[in-house]
Amino acid sequence: MKRILMSLMTVALVSALIGGGVFAYFSDVETSTGNTFTAGTLDLNLDGGNTNVVKFTVSDVKPGDSGGGSWTVANVGSIAGYLDLESISVSEAIGTTTDPEEADEPTGVDTIQLGTYLMVHLFVDTNNNGSWDAGEADIFGTDAAPAAINTIAASYALDLSLAATGGTNYITLVWSVGTGTDNRIQGDSVTLDITFELQQRAAD
C-alpha cells in the first residue's frame, strides 16, 4: 500500500512539473499605442484673408474709362488643391437719364445698357503684373477682344493648381467702356459677384 501511495505521489509530481513547464517558455511584449489619424485642410485665402473682398467700387463711369484689379488666391491649408470660379453672377440696374437717349430707345425711356458696353477680360495673371502676357490663361474674353460683362458664364472650372501651405496665383479683371456708347449708359450700374472655390480634386 505504501508503494502504491508513493507511486501515485511520483506521478502527481511529474504531472505538475510537466504542466508547469508550459508557462516557462520565453516571451516578449511590445506595444503600439497612440496611433492617430488627422485630416488635412484646404483653406483658401482671398487677398490674404477669409472675409468678403470688394475689389471694385467704381463710380461716375463714362465712355473711354478703363481700369483693372487683381485677386490674390492662396492655399494656406495643409493639402494641395484646385481653384475654380464656382459661381459668377452679373446684375444690372437701370439709371436715370437726364436727357433723351439714343435713337434706339424712345425719348424719355431708359433701359439697362451698361452691361452690354462694359467690356472685360478675366484671366490668370501668373506674374501678377496686372496685364495679360503671352501664355497666361484667359478665363473670359481676351486681351485683343474683351467681352461684354453681361455675357460672362455662370462658372468656370479652372483647375488652377495651388500647392499646400502657401501656393499662390492671381486672377485679374481688366475693364473698359468704349467711346461709342454715348448717352445710353447714363446712370446704369452693374454688380459682379464671384465665388472662388478650392477643392481637393480637379473638376471631372
pLDDT at 204: 66
Higher pLDDT: 88 or 19? It is: 88
Residue 169 resides in a domain: yes
Q: Residue with C-alpha cell 483658401? A: 44
Residue 7 resides in a domain: no
Other Cβ atoms less than 10 A from the Cβ of 121: the count is 22
Higher pLDDT: 160 or 113? It is: 160
Outline where DSSP puts E strands in 94-142: 118-124, 138-140
Q: How do strand 81-93 and strand 156-162 relate by DSSP bridges?
A: antiparallel
Residue 192 resides in a domain: yes
Higher pLDDT: 7 or 175? It is: 175
Residue 6 resides in a domain: no
Residue 111 resides in a domain: yes
Chain segment 8-54, per-residue pLDDT in tens: 555 554 555 455 555 679 999 999 999 999 999 999 999 999 999 99
What total number of domains does the chain contain?
Answer: 1
Helix (H) or strand (E) holding 197: strand 189-199
**What is the C-alpha separation between 26 and 11, in angstroms, rounded?**
26
pLDDT at 120: 98
Provide the whole-model pTM: 0.82
- Structural domain of residue 164, as residue ranges? 44-199
pLDDT at 181: 84
pLDDT at 187: 85
Higher pLDDT: 5 or 196? It is: 196
Residue 93 resides in a domain: yes
Is residue 50 within 8 Å of residue 137, measured between CB atoms? Answer: no
Residue 48 resides in a domain: yes
Chain segment 49-83, per-residue pLDDT in tens: 999 999 999 999 999 999 999 999 999 999 999 99
Residue 34 resides in a domain: no
Q: How do strand 189-199 and strand 156-162 relate by DSSP bridges?
A: unpaired
Other Cβ atoms less than 10 A from the Cβ of 144: the count is 7
Chain segment 135-176, per-residue pLDDT in tens: 999 999 999 999 999 999 999 999 999 999 999 999 999 999
pLDDT at 104: 54
Q: Is the pLDDT score of 100 beyond 70? A: no
